Structure 1
Amino acid sequence: MQEGIIDGDGSLFLDQAYQTVRFLQHNAFLENGNCAFLLSEEGEKKESIPGKGMDISIYADCFVILGFTEYAGVSRDEQVLDEALRLYDHLSERLRRGDYRTEPYPIPEGYKAHAVAMIMLNVTQELGRVLKTFRHERREELLEASGRYMCIVMEEFYRADGSIAEIIAQDPEKNEDELLTRHMNPGHAIESMWFVMTTAEELEREDYIHKVCIAIKKAFELGWDELHGGLLRFVDKEGGPPKGVTNGNPFETLILDTWDTKLWWPHSEALYATLLAYAYTRDNEFLRLYKQTKRYVFDTFPNENQPGGEWIQIRNRKGHPVEKVVALPVKDPYHIIRNFLLIIELLSKQI
C-alpha cells in the first residue's frame, strides 16, 4: 500500500508484522516443509480435526506465503522473501503431484475446485508484485504463473452465462445435475474476479477484463437477495436455493445448511471489486452496485451495542445476528481489512 494514505504510526504495525512473521517461522512449519493448519496461542501445533494430522489444508501454506510476501515488500527483508519463495516452490510441487488436502471441506475425487486456482492466482500475483520491487530474477516466472492460473479460472470455471462454478467434475455429465457442480458462491466469485482483473491488466488481456465485468454482474444477478438485501452465501447456478443430486459430501451439508446466511467478508470483496471494475471501465452499473452493497453493509453489519468494537460478521437472511460459526472464523478479519485498505488506496487515486 502507498505510504501516507492513512494517518498513524506505521512502525507499530510493522513491528507487529515482524513478531507475527517470527512466530510463524518458529512454529508453523512441519518437518515435511508443509504448514500446520492450527497453532495454539503459545505456538503449539494442534489437530483441528482429531486424527487428520496437522497439515490438512494447502490454504494455510498459501496464507503464510502471502503474509511473508507482504512483510518482505514493506520491510525490504530479502531473507523473508526467500522463505516465501521456498514455500511457494514446495507448494507448487505438491500441487503438481496432487499431494495436498483442503480440509475442512475436501475436494472429492474426480472433481476440481475453483478455490485452488483462485488462491494460487492471488499468491503468484502478490509474489510477482513484490519481486518486481526487488528487481528479482524470478519476477517474470511468477508473472507467467499468475497468467496460467488466471487462464484456469477463466477457461475452466467460467460458465457460458458468465457465472463462476465453484466445483467442476471431470465427467461433464455430472456438471448438469449434482449439487456440488450446480452451486455457486457469489462473494467468492466476485473476489476471484478482482484477482483476474489485476493480472489481466498487467498482461494486457482486455478480453478477460470484459469477461470479468460480465461475471461480477452475473454474481449480483444470481446472488443478491431481492427480498432482504445482501449477497446470499450460496445459490444455484440458475438462481435461488442450491439444488441437485447429493452424494454425502460434507461440503454439500455446508451449502444446504448455510446458503441463505449473509457474511461480512464477501460483501467487503464486493465493495472493492465493484469499485475496481468501475475504475477500469467507467461503467456506471458498477458504481450502482457499489452503492447498493455499501448501503446494505452499513445498515446490517455494525454492532449497535459496541460502537467501538467488532462488527457482527454473521447474519441470517433477514440480517439478524447468528451466534454460530458458519465459515472459518479467521476469514472475516483477513478479507475485511485487506479490502478496506485497497479501497482507500483506490479512492486516493481519485478514480
Structure 2
Amino acid sequence: MRDARRYREHLENDVLAWWLAHGPDRELGGVHTCFANSGDTLVSTDKYTWSQGRWAWLLARLSRAARCGTVALDADDLLAQAAATGEFVAEHALLGDGTTAYVTAEDGTVRPYGPDGDPHASVFADLFAALGFAGLALADGAAAARWGGLAEELLVSAHERIAAGTARTEPYPVDPRFRGLAEPMMLMHVAAELHAATGSRHGGRIALAAVRTALTGGFVDGTDVRDLALRRPGLESSLLARHRTPGHLLEFAWFLTWAADQVPSVADVLPDSGWPARTALAALDLGWDRRDGGLLRYVDVEGGAPRGDLLGDPYEDLVVRTWDTKLWWPHAEALYATALLAERHDDERLGEWHDRVRDYTFRTFPEGPGREWTQIRARDGTPLDEVVALPVKDPFHIARALLLLAELGENTNSDARHHL
C-alpha cells in the first residue's frame, strides 16, 4: 500500500508522540484521557474503564508491531505500560460479578455513576476491558492464561446480559422498543480477538452467535444496515428507526472481515464473501457530505439530515443536534476499512474512496507536528468544544487505524497482518 509509510510516520511522530508524552500515568497505572478537544488541558484525572481497556489493547498491539519492526518503538516499554494498564483495570475496575466500574478516580477509587449511584453503567466498558485483556494475552506470553481468563469472564457475562436484554449501554441507553447493533458488533469483535489470542472456545462460540444476531436480527436489509432494529413492527417512520451511522457501518464491515479470519465459521454465515465490501460502499455513498466533504455523523436512510417521528427518547436530540458534525473516529475507521476491503476484494472503487477519505482527513483533523488530532469538528471542519460520548480525548481509534494501515502495508498475508 503506497501510503503505508505516511501512516506509520504520522503514527510514530505525531499521534503516539503526543499520547506517550501526555497520557500514561506511570506512577499509578493506566492512562489520562480527560483532555480538552484541543489537547492543551487535562480537565479531569478520572479514568474511564472504556478508555483504559482500549489503551491496554493498543499498547499491547504496538509492542508486537515493534518486535516485528513495523514501528520503531520500544517493545518492552510498550508491553510494560500495557500490563500496568491491565493491572490497574484488574485491581480497581473489576467488580467481581463479571462487570466493571464505569469510571474510577486517578488512584482507582470507584466512582458512583448516574442517579442510582451504581458503579457499573455500560457493557461496552466491560467489553473494552476484555479487549485489553485479550490483547495482553497475545502479547504477554508469560501471563497469557491470567489475561485470557479475565477477558473470558467479562466476555461471557456481557454475552449473557446482552442476550437477556439486561445490559446497560451508557453513554447511549437504547430505547426499550429497539435493539442496538453496537452490542452484537462489539461482542463479535472482542470474542474473535480473544479466540485468536488464546483459542478460547467461548470466544469462538460467542463471535459466531454475535455475527448471526447482527446479520439476522432485523438490522440488515441488503446493504442497508440500521443501528437500531425494531423489536416489533409499528415505528418504522420514527427517527430512531430511520437514522444511520456511516462510521459504525464501516467499522462493522472490517470487524466482520477480521472475525471471518479469526473464526473461520463466521464466513459461512455472511450473505456472501463480498457483502462487507458492498456494505462499506453503500455507507460511504450515503454518509459522504457532498457540500463540505467528509463523513457526516448521522444521516437519514435516504440521505441528508435524519428525519422521522419523534418518540421522546434522549438519543433523538443527540442525532438531530450533532448529525452534521465531523468526528475523528468515523474518518479513522473509514481509512482502514477502505484500504483493507479494497485490497481484499481488488476493488478500485474502494481504493478511490480511500484516497478521498485520506485527503479530507489529513486536510482537516491533524493538529500539526508532534501533536494528535482535533477530534471534534463542525460540518465545515472548524473545531468544536463539545463532548460526544465520554468526556475524554479518545486515544484509540486514530492510533489503531494508523497502526493497522502500517501493518497492511508491511505484509499482505492475513495471518501476519492480524496475528503478529
Determine the structure 2 residue equivalent to 1:291.
355
The structural deviation recorded for 1:111 is 1.2
Does residue 151 of structure 2 align to residue 84 of structure 1? yes
The structural deviation recorded for 1:266 is 1.0
3-state secondary structure, aligned to 2:234 = helix
The gaps in structure 1 that reach 5 residues or longer are 133-137
AA in 2 matched with 1:75: D
Tell which deviates more after alignment, 217-226 or 330-339: 330-339
- Measure the CA separation in 2 of the matches of 1:229 and 1:214: 21
Say if 1:184 and 1:331 are closer, same or farther in 2 by CA, change over 3 A: farther
Quick one: which of 208, 213, 218 aligns to 1:147? 208
3-state secondary structure, aligned to 2:69 = coil
The structural deviation recorded for 1:330 is 4.4
Does residue 277 of structure 2 align to residue 213 of structure 1? yes
The structural deviation recorded for 1:170 is 1.3
The structural deviation recorded for 1:329 is 4.2
- Measure the CA separation in 2 of the matches of 1:308 and 1:124: 35
The structural deviation recorded for 1:149 is 1.4
Determine the structure 1 residue equivalent to 2:402.
340
1:260-279 alignment runs, 5 A limit: 260-279=324-343
Determine the structure 2 residue equivalent to 1:49.
114
Tell which deviates more after alignment, 256-265 or 106-115: 106-115
The structural deviation recorded for 1:161 is 4.5
Determine the structure 2 residue equivalent to 1:110.
177
The structural deviation recorded for 1:227 is 0.7
The structural deviation recorded for 1:89 is 2.2
Determine the structure 2 residue equivalent to 1:240.
304
The structural deviation recorded for 1:350 is 4.9
1:96-155 deviations in Å (ceiling 9; x for gaps): 3333211222112121000001000111110111013xxxxx34x422321221222223
- Measure the CA separation in 1 of the matches of 2:152 and 2:317: 36
Does residue 242 of structure 2 align to residue 182 of structure 1? yes
TM-score, normalised via structure 1 length: 0.92
The structural deviation recorded for 1:172 is 2.3
Say if 1:211 and 1:350 are closer, same or farther in 2 by CA, change over 3 A: closer
The structural deviation recorded for 1:187 is 0.2
3-state secondary structure, aligned to 2:179 = strand
- Measure the CA separation in 2 of the matches of 1:101 and 1:276: 32
3-state secondary structure, aligned to 2:119 = coil
AA in 1 matched with 2:128: F
Give % identity. 36
Determine the structure 2 residue equivalent to 1:135.
none
TM-score, normalised via structure 2 length: 0.78
Determine the structure 1 residue equivalent to 2:3.
none
1:1-351 alignment runs, 5 A limit: 1-2=64-65, 3-76=68-141, 77=143, 78-132=145-199, 138-139=200-201, 141-174=202-235, 176-201=236-261, 202-203=264-265, 204-205=267-268, 207-304=271-368, 307-330=369-392, 332-350=394-412
Is the 8 Å Cα contact of residues 219 and 227 (structure 2) preserved in structure 1?
Answer: no
- Measure the CA separation in 2 of the matches of 1:147 and 1:86: 18
Tell which has more relative contact order, 1 or 2 (C-alpha 8 A, sep 6+): 2
- Measure the CA separation in 2 of the matches of 1:73 and 1:336: 22
The gaps in structure 2 that reach 5 residues or longer are 1-63, 414-420
The structural deviation recorded for 1:341 is 1.2
3-state secondary structure, aligned to 1:231 = coil
- Measure the CA separation in 1 of the matches of 2:178 and 2:412: 43
Over 6 Å off, 4+ runs: none
